[in-house]
């Protein structure tokens, strides 16, 4: 422990703690524009300056030392911070009123906190005019005019996710964030995970907003509007309305969606149960016959994109299952449409997702199995929050609604898809049943070694009916390369693969920490959201996908058997090797 | 490194000992050869004189000597920097038994005349008086000029008087003796000498070199490695000390690096030299090649247990890469931007391994200190600034060039004596030191001794050794603008105060310079300056306002005049 004084308060903190973090323990919030607990401090903005015995230093990146005597505010420091902030504002477009981050921009908030009433420097934003907005991914927009060069996105992209799509270009006042060589983001190794958008303090990196298009669809009475929500959305949306982090608001979301004009409210969790039926069946088949092991999960489109770009040789290891919301999409436009007597051409399926990559996934060629684009639009949690506000819906006061049958019912296994380890847990619950014919014991349903977010790669060996299943679960795509390299090395030697089943989620913590979720996420937030889903699982009457009565019904009435011909046609997909940079 | 058996090591040690003998003999042989020469022509072959045509001058000398049948008796040497760059190309004629003689602004034609009128007659008849034509006499540069007599040369000692490409000559002049001596000492004792000598980093910050080494010595190697890095990314406008030291004394820098490595336990070394210094790069590459060939670099050097390798990397010319953390990022192949310190490089440096970064001049000083001893070096200079410092004296001064003086020399002595007064006949106004990080010192303060503390006190810095002299016709606002333009151009863009602050300050300064500024603009400049000084991450941003602030302090009247002009207009 290190003893020091912060604003005359004595405090002991572990060695290695930064001054900024130490100050938070004595309830002093040192302002910063670039610091983010998820990321290495980059020390870019200069606003977090403090003094140690008169010497100015950056609190975000300086570790505490024994005997430090820190002053976090004095006239000089306050003036320094104010001047820096004014400088930032002189180079930032004053478009707050029309900015997508209007209500949660960290720069705007800091300016408000500081009470700045004027910017005494020249407005130099006209020099930014020649920076067009990069919309090339159709998922993520880069508006580098609004960039304050905090560097969080680059840290997230290069260090956290190890994608290296984003980097710094040019120098000095011309510095900007972009793709190497100034290429469009769409031609880069970007996997559309959106962690850059979840970490950006301003409106420089945002999701492509499809709310206007969805409003337009909703306003056309000819459309049969279907909506579904992903598991992780239900534990995050509440934050946008001031509810405690991790609050489960499933019922309120259903009601809000109906109030917005959706005719039918389904739940992606149903699709998750369906995915498990397909994937567990696929796994049992592949495991029993030792075909292309390890099998790797495929419900995360950013991960799929990563594999296609970085490890195309591993494509045969992918499960061929589509992701849950794509399954709901295709079943809505086929099974449900037939059943309800609706022309699928007039049906519009909207997915509410914690994810920006899902916006890309719906446009892939295989995602038109119904004869139409199976899912018409993806909205992120953030877009939905804005739309609810636009509709004047008082979200927190809503009564709980219920989802529509048949694609709205879900088991606990469906809901745990939203956090790291969840897909594996759900799959193993059903695999256990498929292999042994018996249900897993209640107390074993949460498979503890693969829960949690402390480690980027979690490994365990599961014993089912005398067979050992070696498992790896990775979250945060930056951790996946080591797993795949291990597999690759073993396969190259012709050795037994180190794992049989691998789950990958691109975002740290899984979808609860997704790139389309409310901003300013930290590990505490991820854990709280995951706990919300665990609660949802525990309170479910049915906790395994195969127990979902509607799932069984859909197979019986429509699909036939899991992995059967029809299921294969509608619920499975192909993968394509892709270059890192579009030639 | 690969583990070797005891037997292999014994063999390598024996080889090292033989190589040491070979080197010593190489030096002795060179001395014997030199004794035989009846005369020698030293022509400056450093970057400055080369741009003035010294390469063709050297060829002309060689041709003339051959034509006169004197090639065997007269040695022709292309040297490192001779110092008085303003008068180059320089040629120094040394004839046995006579006073050395220096020619300025030598052309190929003149070279022929020198051989014909000066050298050939003297070699024919040792007693013949020197009889130079009027034209030739006009090119004499007196060696009694204070420019030469008032200097104390340690780092530059052999630069203008030896062939930088000749390893034998370097050894004959005492080269690699310091390394040989150090290898017989304990590493801690080597550090002790450097600490006691009072040597401070010549890159600008002036941190104790010995202490820095001690910090690295205390750091455990990571993956078996620790590094010494030589910072050859000199970039201050007007400064070219390191360029000349590298180009004319590459072996001394390498030797200094090796002594640093031995003292600190570093396993390999890197020279980071900017690509705009082709001659420095060429000479350093040659020095490394020669050192490898003769076992100076390698395993069991000179029969000791010391193993060391050095390599060279080109800097792409970004000024900020002279900042040590940015330099390391660049060496690693990354974008050259500074990172926070601590951790200091001595804990976590290049490739996250403990590293020490020393400036070219610092390393070039080390061999002399090891041979001369701490007390000898410590006796030169002031109470806190020890030894000598190389300056690039430029601007409105008659004798501009590369000079080396003891710390404590006054600015007046520099510009009036060594510099020989103004080149324009007008009065001096100020000198600028420390490059874009430094400030101006008005003529009224010329009695100030040059040392780290005094310069800091007056609002400038020692910096790497650039000294630009201005006369009364120079506008100080323009000077400030020039330097700020430089730092704004060279800001890496990473941190806000420097990136936007510098840019906005420059806009304000341009407004003032154009006569449209107001008092409020001056206040805004001060606000920005304070934010940059306190809030910037690296030295570039922290010191970028210095030229502006210091001219505003000492030449307020010039700013006032511009502000008043605006009011009237």
pLDDT tens-digit profile, chain B (569 residues): 678 899 999 999 999 999 999 999 999 999 999 999 999 999 999 999 999 999 999 999 999 999 999 999 999 999 999 999 999 899 999 999 999 999 999 999 999 999 999 999 999 998 888 888 999 999 999 999 999 999 999 999 999 999 999 999 999 999 999 999 999 999 999 999 999 999 999 988 899 999 999 999 999 999 999 999 999 999 998 899 999 999 999 999 999 999 999 999 999 999 999 999 999 999 999 999 999 999 999 999 999 999 999 999 999 989 999 999 999 999 999 999 999 888 899 999 999 999 999 999 999 999 999 999 999 999 999 999 999 999 999 999 999 999 999 999 999 999 999 999 999 999 999 999 999 999 999 999 999 999 999 999 998 888 889 999 999 999 999 999 999 999 999 999 999 999 999 999 999 999 999 999 999 999 999 999 999 999 999 989 999 999 999 999 999 999 999 998 756 54
User: Over 90: is that where the pLDDT of A147 sits?
Assistant: yes
CATH classification of the domain holding B531: 1.20.1440.230
Residues B241 and B350 in one domain: yes
Out of A46, A62, A63, the one facing B497 most closely (by C-beta) is: A46
B504/A45 CB distance under 8 A: no
Non-local (6+) Cβ contacts of B323 within 8 A are: B338, B538, B539, B540
Q: How far is B333 from chain A (nearest CA, A)?
A: 14
Please state, in angstroms and rounded to a whole number, the distance separating the CA atoms of residues B121 and B131: 9
Q: Which of B410, B398, B407 minimizes the C-alpha distance to B443?
A: B410
CATH classification of the domain holding B262: 3.40.50.11540
**pLDDT score recorded for residue B1:** 60
A172/B489 CB distance under 8 A: yes
Chain A residue set in contact with B, beta carbons under 8 Å: 33, 41-47, 49, 56, 58, 61-63, 76-77, 79-81, 83-84, 87-88, 90-91, 120-122, 124, 148-149, 151, 167-168, 170-175
Model confidence over A375-425: pLDDT tens digits?
Answer: 999 999 999 999 999 999 999 999 999 999 899 999 999 999 999 999 999
Query: What order of strands is seen across the sheet that includes strand A264-267?
Result: A264-267, A224-229, A347-353, A377-380
| A91 to chain B: closest CA residue | B500
| A44 to chain B: closest CA residue | B495
Does residue B58 lie in a domain region? yes
Residues B548 and B454 in one domain: no
Residues B44 and B135 in one domain: yes
Does residue B2 lie in a domain region? no
A80/B494 CB distance under 8 A: no
Model confidence over A240-267: pLDDT tens digits?
Answer: 999 999 999 999 999 999 999 999 999 9
Residues B99 and B181 in one domain: no
Does residue B262 lie in a domain region? yes
CATH classification of the domain holding B56: 3.40.30.10
User: Over 80: is that where the pLDDT of A350 sits?
Assistant: yes
Residues B239 and B308 in one domain: yes
Sorted by where each starts, the structural domains of chain A and their CATH numbers stand as 2-87 (3.10.20.740), 122-207 (3.30.70.20), 212-571 (3.40.50.1780)
**pLDDT score recorded for residue B569:** 45
Residues B283 and B374 in one domain: yes
Asked which of B95, B127, B146 is the last residue of a domain, the reply is B146
**pLDDT confidence band for A207 (50 / 70 / 90):** very high
Q: Which of B508, B517, B455 minimizes the C-alpha distance to B485?
A: B508
Q: How many CB atoms lie within 10 A of CB B568?
A: 6
Query: What order of strands is seen across the sheet that includes strand A501-505?
Result: A295-296, A501-505, A467-475, A457-464
Does residue B261 lie in a domain region? yes
Residues B82 and B113 in one domain: yes
CATH classification of the domain holding B450: 3.10.20.600
Residues B305 and B319 in one domain: yes
Per DSSP, the three-state class of A537 is helix
Does residue B1 lie in a domain region? no
Please state, in angstroms and rounded to a whole number, the distance separating the CA atoms of residues B393 and B405: 11
CA distances from residue B27 to A387, B147, B155, B169, B171 in whole angstroms, order as listed: 84, 31, 20, 6, 5
User: Over 70: is that where the pLDDT of A218 sits?
Assistant: yes
Residues B114 and B250 in one domain: no
Model confidence over A524-568: pLDDT tens digits?
Answer: 999 999 999 999 999 999 999 999 999 999 999 999 999 999 999
Residues B446 and B486 in one domain: no
Asked which of B474, B490, B525 is the last residue of a domain, the reply is B474
The interface predicted TM-score (ipTM) is 0.92
A56/B499 CB distance under 8 A: no
Please state, in angstroms and rounded to a whole number, the distance separating the CA atoms of residues A538 and A527: 16
Per DSSP, the three-state class of A41 is coil
User: Over 90: is that where the pLDDT of A576 sits?
Assistant: yes
User: Over 90: is that where the pLDDT of A126 sits?
Assistant: no
Interface of B with A in 324-353 (CB under 8 A): 335, 337, 339-340, 342
Instruction: Tell me, rounded to whole angstroms, the distance of Cα A249 from its chain centroid.
Output: 18
Asked which of B348, B378, B408 is the last residue of a domain, the reply is B378
Number of domains within chain B: 4
Q: Which of B425, B526, B430 minimizes the C-alpha distance to B475?
A: B430
Does residue B184 lie in a domain region? yes
Q: Is the overall model pTM greater than 0.95, yes or no? A: no
Residues B100 and B229 in one domain: no
Tokens of A333: 């436009």
Length of chain B: 569
Does residue B157 lie in a domain region? no
**pLDDT score recorded for residue B568:** 53
Interface A-B, measured as beta-carbon pairs within 8 A, has a size of: 117
Domain hosting B217: range is 174-378
Please state, in angstroms and rounded to a whole number, the distance separating the CA atoms of residues B405 and A214: 77
Does residue B162 lie in a domain region? no
Average pLDDT (A70-78) is 96
Residues B53 and B198 in one domain: no
């Amino acid at each position: 422990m290190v003893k020091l004084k912060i604003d005359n308060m004595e405090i002991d903190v572990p060695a290695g703690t930064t001054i900024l973090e130490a100050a938070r323990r004595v309830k002093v919030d040192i302002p910063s524009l670039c610091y983010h607990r998820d990321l290495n401090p980059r020390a870019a903005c200069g606003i977090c300056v403090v003094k140690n015995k008169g010497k100015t230093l950056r609190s975000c990146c300086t570790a505490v030392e024994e005997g430090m005597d820190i002053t976090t505010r004095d006239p000089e420091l306050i003036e320094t911070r104010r001047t820096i902030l004014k400088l930032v504002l002189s180079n930032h477009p004053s478009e707050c009123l029309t900015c997508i981050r209007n209500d949660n921009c960290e720069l705007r908030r800091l300016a408000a906190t500081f009470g700045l009433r004027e910017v005494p420097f020249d407005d130099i934003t006209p020099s930014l005019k020649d920076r067009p907005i990069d919309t090339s991914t159709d998922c993520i927009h880069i508006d580098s005019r609004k960039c304050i060069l905090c560097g969080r996105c680059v840290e997230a992209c290069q260090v956290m996710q190890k994608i290296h799509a984003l980097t710094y270009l040019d120098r000095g006042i011309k510095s900007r964030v972009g793709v190497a060589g100034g290429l469009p983001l769409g031609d880069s190794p970007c996997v559309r995970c959106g962690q850059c958008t979840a970490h950006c303090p301003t409106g420089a990196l945002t999701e492509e907003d499809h709310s206007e298009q969805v409003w337009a669809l909703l306003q056309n009475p000819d459309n049969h509007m279907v909506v579904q929500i992903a598991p992780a959305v239900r534990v995050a949306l509440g934050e946008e309305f001031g509810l405690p982090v991790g609050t489960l608001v499933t019922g309120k979301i259903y009601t809000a969606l109906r109030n917005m004009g959706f005719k039918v409210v389904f739940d992606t969790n149903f699709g998750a149960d369906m995915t498990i039926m397909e994937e567990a069946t696929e796994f049992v088949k592949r495991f029993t016959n030792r075909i292309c092991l390890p099998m790797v999960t495929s419900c995360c489109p950013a991960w799929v994109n990563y594999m296609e770009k970085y490890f195309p040789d591993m494509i045969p290891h992918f499960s061929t299952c589509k992701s849950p919301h794509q399954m709901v999409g295709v079943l809505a436009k086929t099974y449900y449409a037939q059943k309800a007597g609706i022309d699928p051409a007039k049906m519009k399926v909207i997915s509410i997702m914690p994810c920006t990559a899902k916006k890309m996934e719906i446009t892939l060629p295989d995602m038109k199995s119904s004869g139409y684009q199976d899912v018409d639009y993806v909205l992120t949690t953030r877009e939905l929050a804005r739309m609810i506000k636009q509709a004047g819906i008082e979200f927190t006061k809503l009564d709980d609604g219920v989802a529509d049958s048949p694609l709205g019912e879900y088991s606990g296994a469906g809901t745990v898809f939203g956090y790291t380890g969840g897909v594996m847990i759900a799959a193993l619950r059903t695999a256990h049943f498929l292999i042994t014919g018996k249900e897993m014991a209640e107390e074993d349903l949460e498979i503890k070694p693969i829960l949690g977010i402390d480690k980027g790669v979690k490994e365990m060996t599961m014993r089912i009916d005398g067979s050992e299943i070696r498992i790896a679960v990775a979250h945060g795509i930056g951790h996946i390369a080591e797993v795949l390299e291990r597999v690759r090395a073993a396969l190259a030697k012709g050795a037994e693969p180190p794992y049989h089943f691998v789950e990958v989620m691109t975002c740290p913590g899984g979808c609860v920490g997704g790139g389309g979720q409310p901003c300013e996420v930290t590990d505490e937030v991820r854990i709280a959201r995951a706990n919300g889903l665990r609660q949802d699982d525990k309170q479910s009457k049915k906790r395994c996908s195969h127990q979902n009565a509607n799932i069984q019904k859909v197979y019986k009435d429509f699909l036939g058997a899991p992995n059967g011909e029809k299921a294969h046609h509608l619920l499975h997909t192909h993968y394509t090797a892709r270059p890192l940079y579009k030639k | 490194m690969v583990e070797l058996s005891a037997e292999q090591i014994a063999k390598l040690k024996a080889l090292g000992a033989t190589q040491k003998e070979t080197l010593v003999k190489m030096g002795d042989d060179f001395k014997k050869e030199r004794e035989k020469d009846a005369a020698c022509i030293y022509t400056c072959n450093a970057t400055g004189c080369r741009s003035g045509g010294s390469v063709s001058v050297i060829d002309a000398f060689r041709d003339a000597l051959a034509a006169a049948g004197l090639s065997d008796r007269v040695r022709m040497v292309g040297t490192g920097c001779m110092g008085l760059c303003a008068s180059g190309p320089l040629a120094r004629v040394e004839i046995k038994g006579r006073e050395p003689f220096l020619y300025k602004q030598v052309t190929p034609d003149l070279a022929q005349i020198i051989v014909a009128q000066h050298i050939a007659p003297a070699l024919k008849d040792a007693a013949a008086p020197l009889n130079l034509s009027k034209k030739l006499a006009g090119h004499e540069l007196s060696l009694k000029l204070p420019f030469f007599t008032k200097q104390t040369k340690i780092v530059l000692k052999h630069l203008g008087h030896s062939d930088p490409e000749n390893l034998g000559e370097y050894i004959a002049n005492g080269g690699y003796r310091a390394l040989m001596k150090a290898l017989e000492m304990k590493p801690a004792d080597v550090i002790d000498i450097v600490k006691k000598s009072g040597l401070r980093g010549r890159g600008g910050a002036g941190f104790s070199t010995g202490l820095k080494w001690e910090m690295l010595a205390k750091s455990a190697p990571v993956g078996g490695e620790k590094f010494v890095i030589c910072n050859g990314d000199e970039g201050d406008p007007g400064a070219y000390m390191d360029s000349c030291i590298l180009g004319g004394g590459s072996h001394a820098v390498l030797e200094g690096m090796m002594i640093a490595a031995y003292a600190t336990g570093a396993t390999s070394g890197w020279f980071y030299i900017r690509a705009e210094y082709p001659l420095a790069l060429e000479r350093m590459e040659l020095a490394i090649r020669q050192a490898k060939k003769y076992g100076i670099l390698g395993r069991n050097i000179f029969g000791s247990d010391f193993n060391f390798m050095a390599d060279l990397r080109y800097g792409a010319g970004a000024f900020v890469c002279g900042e040590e953390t940015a330099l390391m990022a660049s060496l690693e192949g990354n974008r050259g931007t500074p990172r926070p310190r601590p951790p200091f490089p001595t804990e976590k440096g290049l490739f996250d391994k403990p590293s020490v970064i020393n400036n070219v001049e610092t390393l070039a000083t080390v061999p002399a200190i090891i041979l001369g001893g701490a007390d000898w070096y410590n006796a030169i200079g002031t109470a806190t600034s020890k030894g000598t410092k190389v300056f690039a004296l430029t601007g409105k001064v008659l004798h501009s060039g590369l000079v080396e003086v003891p710390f404590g020399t006054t600015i007046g002595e520099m510009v009036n004596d060594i510099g020989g007064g103004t080149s324009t006949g007008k009065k001096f106004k100020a000198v600028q030191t420390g490059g874009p990080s430094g400030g101006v010192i008005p003529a009224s303060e010329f009695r100030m001794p040059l040392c780290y503390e005094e310069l800091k006190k007056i609002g400038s810095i020692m910096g790497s050794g650039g000294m630009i002299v201005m006369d009364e016709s120079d506008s100080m606002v323009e000077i400030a603008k020039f330097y700020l333009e430089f730092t704004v151009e060279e800001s890496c863009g990473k941190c806000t105060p420097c990136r936007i602050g510098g840019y906005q300050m420059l806009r304000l300064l341009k407004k003032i310079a154009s006569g449209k500024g107001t008092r409020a603009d001056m206040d805004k400049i001060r606000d920005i300056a304070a934010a940059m000084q306190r809030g910037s991450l690296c030295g570039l941003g922290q010191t970028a306002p210095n030229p502006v602030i210091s001219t505003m302090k000492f030449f307020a009247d010039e700013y006032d005049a511009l502000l008043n002009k605006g009011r009237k207009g």
